[in-house]
Amino acid sequence: MTTTIDEVDDLHQLLGQKLEDSDWFDITQDRVDLFADATDDRQWIHVDVERANDESPYGGPIAHGYLTLSLLSAMVLQVLSVRQASMAVNYGLNKVRFPAPVPVGSKVRLSAEVQAVEAIADGVQIILRATVHCTVVQKPVCVAEPVYRFYR
């Protein structure tokens, strides 16, 4: 369920609140291969299924850490909506870690909390405490602090 805010300035009321979890996103070999093509990162642990099955310490191919990170944008759109924002931008990241690999064939989803909210020129900036969970891994697979700006 999406947390919906009408006005940009109403984001301040979300400080410290946990947002609903996103849907699960499938991590397929096709998705990994497309990401590899888009980024020119074709390391065998991601794209050579046979070799990864035989030689990888992970027991098979895994998603790129940056693929998992790139899904944050789509996941955040599922958990937070600001109706009257004229524009929203991904402003960057404060911290990012990949504590565990994401095996191909698994699913990931976001849980997030609004960690900081601050007024900026013509809008509001928020920082989330974002944790990406995986269906087949105990530890989080990505922990990050994405920064988003919403403009009036």
3-state secondary structure of 10: helix
Across the chain, what does the average pLDDT equal? 97
- Identify the pLDDT of residue 44: 98
Amino acid residing at 63:
A
Domains along the chain? 3-151 (3.10.129.10)
Q: Residue 60's closest CA among 34, 83, 27?
A: 27
- Identify the pLDDT of residue 49: 98
Q: Residue 88's closest CA among 64, 124, 121?
A: 124
Q: How many residues are there in the chain? A: 152
Given a cut of 90, whether residue 28 has pLDDT beyond it is yes
Given a cut of 90, whether residue 64 has pLDDT beyond it is yes
Given a cut of 90, whether residue 114 has pLDDT beyond it is yes
Identify the band that residue 1 occupies on the pLDDT scale cut at 50, 70 and 90.
confident
Given a cut of 90, whether residue 150 has pLDDT beyond it is yes
Overall pTM > 0.85: yes
Of the CA atoms within 13 Å of residue 118, those in its CB half-sphere come to 7
H or E element at residue 86:
none
DSSP H stretches of helix in the chain: 29-39, 44-47, 49-55, 65-70, 72-79
